[in-house]
Structure 1
């Protein structure tokens, strides 16, 4: 005990210091905070005042369009965090030699990677809580009927977007390349998540195709849990499979310098 405790503390203290420093830097970025935390809720507020979105639809089993846009807005926050905000930050650190210099100090580069993943994941989950609250208070969107399934789908969606962002960081040599790749992935994932057309309103063939994408499957899993059902194992399996695949690719391809 006398030899293990100091060693553990000596490894933990620098990681905690890095997390604190990165938290301060993250909070000084009003753009990232707005697009991740505020914009999805603002979008939901605006959409809720469209008269047609507040009326029950027969082709949606009596649900309203605004009900469908709660999980969509949640996924939008995750896409913002994982694909637009995180990759440029990590890539700029590597491009400027910050990670290489950290490798010569007691603070390991992995602590910085962990801090970034923690911050952006927490911001995405915080935005999800805000979206659910806004939807319920302003537009009468009911709380998820199957809370456990909803939380599981949320956690898997956060994991897959962070794994995708880490893969973009691994493949991008410069900040500009990371920004460009993140923007392309951002637009594609927005479509599959149902930002422009909810997945439930897509034609059957397109919905089946989208169901094989990480956010198409996540959107369907969240919708099923919101309706009170346990998310289908097929949807959860697709999201989990993409998480494992992208996480493996990021770990193999990521370079500290």
Structure 2
């Protein structure tokens, strides 16, 4: 059965826990995604665990801003790897199933060898760490296509390294169509982050409020990644955008919410 996750913030944790429990949702924890939190994760997670029922959190979002585990610059590489290793330690400690990391590949760099350095450096990093029982999900950010991340997953050759598709990032930066993207990457994509915008920036709109082609995304997921779990992403929110987004997904029967059953022979 597909999971639906939502992203709580600490100041609204009790409301998100109540919603998750009443809706049979789970949580994606996002604290390490922001640089200002990385030196006080112990404080954040201590507070969070006081109000978090066992088993409710399934996914942890790791650091991504200014992170470059692949770079040839030794000092930046080592600092980045320490930050990611710390988030992996917390993923193990919290007992979540998956840790999300951004690809952080910069397609605007056209210097010879950059793509190969990204691939070599990223593979070297994952070869050097013990993932335990955690699956790492590489999320598209500025990626115009899934070419390099698919190559990364295939070369690493383990089910513990898979892909996360962020629809908001694709809508801004993607150059491959949804069908082309999922034909190539769908079998490696167990997790999708839903977001909406107008293709100009990552706006955290209520789902259905931007120009994302939701019917096409729904078709591609049901065709190429039917087992994918989904995070309903609306950024920092007082609950209204999240409620509107869930109503949109249900009303339009977007994956993983069920389609209408086909009518019977008597039209019933």
TM-score, length basis structure 1: 0.27
RCO higher in structure (CA 8 A, sep ≥6): 1
By percentage of residues, which structure has more strand?
Answer: 2
User: Is the radius of gyration larger for structure 1 or structure 2?
Assistant: 1
TM-score (norm 2): 0.26
